Amino acid sequence: MAQQYGAGSIAIPTLDNIRETLQAEIQTKAEQKAPGSIEGQKRYAKQYKISIHQWSYSRLLDQVASKAAQQGLVIETVKQPWRQNPQERAKAVAIAAYEARQTVVP
């Protein structure tokens, strides 16, 4: 996809404090799905954790890096700012990578 859009790099978020961020996100979703039901929130949180832990982020990054190297693309890692939805987080990562690149160039 990066090659299709003519990108020169791929921005990957570093996952500092991912456990805390993920726990807060899961708790918020559980409260929305089962308001007022502690047991319902626990069940939802458990199922959600199972569904998102079926893949390895490090293996995904290894695969992305391997394909990027084959295509001559640079991988940039930046801290992921907190945003409400995945689209906003992705946009923030891309902007952060761009801004970091601008501060390095003389």
pLDDT in tens, 34-76: 999 999 999 998 888 877 766 677 788 889 999 999 999 999 8
Q: What is the pTM of this model?
A: 0.57
Residue at 2 is within a domain:
no
- What local confidence, expressed as pLDDT, does residue 42 receive? 92
- What local confidence, expressed as pLDDT, does residue 82 receive? 66
Quote the domain boundaries for residue 63.
9-104
Residue at 54 is within a domain:
yes
pLDDT higher than threshold 80 for residue 29: yes
Q: Domain tally for the chain?
A: 1
Residue at 95 is within a domain:
yes
Helix (H) or strand (E) holding 14: strand 9-14
Give the CA angle between residues 1, 62, 23 to the nearest 5°: 90
